[in-house]
């Protein structure tokens, strides 16, 4: 497959891992961030760093043209210490709308988004974020915002000219420093039960780029876990 890949959120942990995996397979990468000056080390051979806003359709459209696919790995939330005063509850809804519109307008048909573990379903069939023993209630505003974005993608009407999206959600542990094995397993809507091998960011990136090169999941969300 020729062409390049656009990575929205290229400065984050998942975005950096996807960029590295894509470059390793020979793709040119456009890494989209809000403030390029904050990421002086992000640019490398084959990587172009540009300013962009994943919640603005015109901004999306201005950078995705000519690429084979886009990756959505943007998060406006860095951790509990950040607080929620500046969190836009509609962030992920706006991002879904802008991506679907901007990609469709420029003829880019594949979108792979990185999901959030806590809106997978637990053993009782409820989202994990509803269980205070699993997820701190004070962080639920972020989880609800992320879930609203997934719901927006699901509500998008299918058609011949619409974007073929998939959301890959880490189904268990996710570790930045874990090695790349090149192996992973897709699941469904439920979180994995019991002890599961840690999924490295590198292996998450393998799954993301695989779904660009050889799409197997379409207009759905699936969990992805590590393999023994």
Could you tell me the mean pLDDT of each successive run of 10 residues in the chain, 228 residues long? 87 96 97 94 92 97 97 82 75 97 96 95 91 86 94 83 92 85 93 73 97 96 91
pLDDT at residue number 178: 86
Question: What is each CA distance from 84 to 9, 81, 99, 120, 125, in whole angstroms?
Answer: 20, 9, 24, 22, 28
Question: How many structural domains compose the chain?
Answer: 1
Whether residue 156 contacts residue 164, with contact meaning beta carbons closer than 8 Å, is answered with no
State how far the Cα of 41 lies from the Cα of 43, in Å rounded to an integer: 6
Least Cα distance to 196 among 213, 219, 178 occurs for 178
Domain that holds residue 8: 4-225
**Statement: the pTM of the whole predicted model exceeds 0.85:** yes
Question: What is each CA distance from 157 to 36, 68, 70, 153, 161, in whole angstroms?
Answer: 34, 21, 19, 9, 10
pLDDT at residue number 190: 87
pLDDT at residue number 195: 54
What residues does 30 pair with on adjacent strands? 6, 48
Q: Which CATH number does the domain housing residue 220 bear?
A: 3.40.50.720
What residues does 200 pair with on adjacent strands? 175
Residue 199 in 3-state DSSP? Answer: strand
């Amino acid at each position: 497959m020729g062409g390049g890949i656009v990575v929205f959120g290229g400065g984050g942990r998942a975005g950096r891992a996807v960029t590295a995996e894509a470059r390793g397979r020979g793709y040119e990468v456009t890494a989209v961030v809000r403030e390029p000056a904050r990421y002086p080390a992000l640019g490398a051979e084959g990587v172009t760093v540009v300013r962009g806003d994943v919640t603005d359709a015109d901004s999306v459209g201005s950078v995705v043209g000519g690429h084979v696919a886009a990756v959505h790995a943007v998060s406006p939330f860095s951790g509990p210490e950040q607080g929620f005063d500046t969190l836009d509850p509609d962030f992920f809804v706006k991002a879904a709308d802008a991506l679907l519109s901007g990609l469709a307008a420029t003829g880019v048909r594949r979108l792979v988004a990185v999901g959030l573990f806590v809106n997978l379903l637990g053993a009782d069939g409820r989202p994990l974020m509803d269980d205070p023993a699993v997820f701190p209630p004070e962080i639920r505003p972020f989880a609800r915002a992320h879930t609203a974005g997934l719901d927006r993608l699901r509500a998008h009407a299918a058609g011949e000219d619409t974007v073929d999206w998939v959301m890959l959600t880490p189904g268990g542990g996710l570790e930045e420093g874990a090695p790349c094995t090149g192996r992973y397993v897709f699941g469904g809507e439920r979180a994995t039960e019991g002890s599961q091998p840690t999924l490295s960011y590198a292996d998450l990136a393998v799954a993301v780029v695989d779904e660009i090169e050889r799409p197997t999941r379409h207009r759905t969300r699936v969990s992805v876990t590590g393999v023994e």
